[in-house]
């Protein structure tokens, strides 16, 4: 698992991302990494176990659609549980940016893309941009 986490971190940094899920790289394992200058997280078999009712709308992007950014609603606070790369249980609690990243990456592993969270009008625009992109 350490090798997979290292490869995900390297790929994420190579593409200037702040989060990456294994399935974005064609690896069918429930693993994500999130990394900034302030924190580095690797989570295996994550589940978002709590979310605030307070919603924040902020620009969100994705390495799966590099040029796409849309205001996306997410819970202001989220708690995820899973395991670290050594198999030890972890709980990660975040607000604002970290909460958004935890939800975004866990969604990836559940087959949900950030564009699925958009309003119908924005989703239509996003799909048009995707179709017209290289």
Catalytic residue numbers read 105
In this structure, how many other beta carbons lie within 10 angstroms of the beta carbon of residue 40? 11
Q: Which of 26, 32, 38 is nearest to 8 (CA)?
A: 32
User: Contact at 8 Å (CB) between 59 and 69?
Assistant: yes
- 128 vs 22: CA distance, rounded Å: 26
């Amino acid at each position: 698992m350490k090798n997979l986490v290292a490869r995900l971190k390297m790929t994420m940094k190579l593409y200037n991302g702040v989060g990456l899920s294994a399935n974005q790289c064609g690896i069918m394992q429930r693993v994500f990494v999130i990394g900034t200058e302030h924190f580095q997280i690797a989570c295996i078999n994550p589940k978002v176990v709590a979310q605030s009712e307070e919603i924040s709308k902020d620009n969100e992007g994705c390495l799966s659609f590099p040029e796409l950014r849309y205001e996306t609603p997410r819970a202001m606070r989220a708690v995820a549980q899973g395991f670290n790369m050594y198999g030890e249980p972890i709980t990660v609690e975040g607000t604002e940016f970290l909460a958004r990243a935890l939800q975004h990456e866990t969604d990836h592993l559940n087959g949900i893309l950030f564009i699925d969270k958009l309003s119908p009008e924005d989703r239509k625009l996003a799909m048009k941009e995707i179709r017209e992109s290289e």
